[in-house]
Amino acid sequence: MTDDTRRPATFPHTGLTRRSALKAAAALAVTGATTRLAAPALAQAARPVKLTLPWLANGSTLFAYVAKNQGFFKKRGIDITISRGFGSVAAAQAVGAGEFDFGFIFAGGTILGAARGLPLVAVSTLGYDATMGIALRGDSPIKTAKDLQGKKIGTVPTSAESPYWPAFARKAGIDTGAVTMVQMDNRVLEQSLVNKQVDAITAIGTSSIPVIMAMKEPCRFMLWSTAGITLYAGQVVTRQDVFAKDKELCRAVNDALTEGLAYALKDPEAGVDIFLKEIPEMGITAGGKENARISQGLMHYTVISKEAETQSIGYTDMTKASEMVDMVMEFGAPKDAKKPLVSELFTNELVGSVKFSPEEWAKVKKNVAEYAAILG
């Protein structure tokens, strides 16, 4: 038996003595302890942020889920929670009341909320046409706005577009006294058109067209924006105090959403696949995937605009914004509402630099050609 009390032992294959090993272990323990103590200070937890959509999750808002799935929020230190909405007006109220940090909201809802005293600010625009208009069957003899005279038009009084029918009629020279407006429940609106109970319906194209197409009915759409009746489709909205105190958070959320939209614009098929992974119940419902594909395509059509092509995706045209405020105040706001200041309600301060090349825009336009044909 070897007497190991008189000479240092070595560890096989290392040449390291026990005394050296103990010293090294002690040093490692100190270093490890220091590292463990320092770790909480070095690693920052992701900041929880709540975002509301204007309505149920669908293809028109799938880019938010793309941004979440692809880590665009995470890399900016944000732990995002995305929730369904119950209409743009309700979404604006929820953001204004502090129930959500941010919302993706139709401009009409944001303007109306601000007119009612909500402290809101839209930090970017990600859809440039709310697609308010008139939906028609594919075989309808109605070709022009004035052809609506003498016809029956279905409408949901509480819908986003219904208040602006008189604005369109005035611009288009329609005698509203010669039109029969039929008030309907939103659950039967599109079906009433397909079943020929009415000649046309007022609608939001991104919502109604996928429903009509799911019924295997060819359809056409008369956009009110062609007559100058325009509301932006969707804006990233927060409260004025959040914008004033935490611009970097606002920038991070906006940049993540814009990056998600750019990703989906460039690869819409991947966008749908990601959306169905994030919202799996959509994939198992009848026509769920097709609805997502169509509503995404329609939304992408609304991104194609002078603002996005000549400035950057997210840019807001302040002249148009002012015209939208005037229209909402005349047709959509209660009499006691106070007109909000455009300079306080909209900003381009945080708009990023996401720009597409002419070739990339050409590809987007090719991808949405079938929807452009429907929307005219």
Q: Which residues pair with 52 in a beta bridge?
A: 83, 103
- Tell me what pLDDT residue 45 has: 87
- Tell me what pLDDT residue 352 has: 85
Reported pTM: 0.85
Pick the closest to residue 124 from 298, 256, 277 (CA basis).
256
- Tell me what pLDDT residue 344 has: 97
Pick the closest to residue 64 from 296, 349, 328 (CA basis).
296
Tokens found for residue 281: 């119940």
Specify whether the backbone of 268 is left (phi greater than 0), alpha (psi in -120 to 50) or beta.
Answer: alpha
- Tell me what pLDDT residue 41 has: 36
Determine the Cα–Cα distance for residues 135 and 50; give it in Å rounded to an integer.
34
Diameter of the chain measured on Cα atoms: 115
Answer whether 154's CB lies under 8 Å from 189's CB. Answer: yes
47: amino acid identity, one letter? R
Q: pLDDT 10s per residue in the chain (376 long)?
A: 333 333 333 333 334 443 443 344 444 344 443 333 343 433 468 999 999 999 999 999 999 999 999 999 999 999 999 999 999 999 999 999 999 999 999 999 999 999 999 999 999 999 999 999 999 999 999 999 999 999 999 999 999 999 999 999 999 999 999 999 999 999 999 999 999 999 999 999 999 999 999 999 999 999 999 999 999 999 999 999 999 999 999 999 999 999 999 999 999 999 999 999 999 998 888 889 999 999 999 999 999 999 999 999 999 999 999 999 999 999 999 999 999 999 999 999 999 889 999 999 999 999 999 999 999 7
Q: Which residues pair with 200 in a beta bridge?
A: 153
Determine the Cα–Cα distance for residues 344 and 117; give it in Å rounded to an integer.
12
- Tell me what pLDDT residue 223 has: 98
Q: Which residues pair with 105 in a beta bridge?
A: 235
Tokens found for residue 241: 């105090």
- Tell me what pLDDT residue 163 has: 95
- Tell me what pLDDT residue 136 has: 98
Answer whether 202's CB lies under 8 Å from 159's CB. Answer: yes
- Tell me what pLDDT residue 68 has: 98
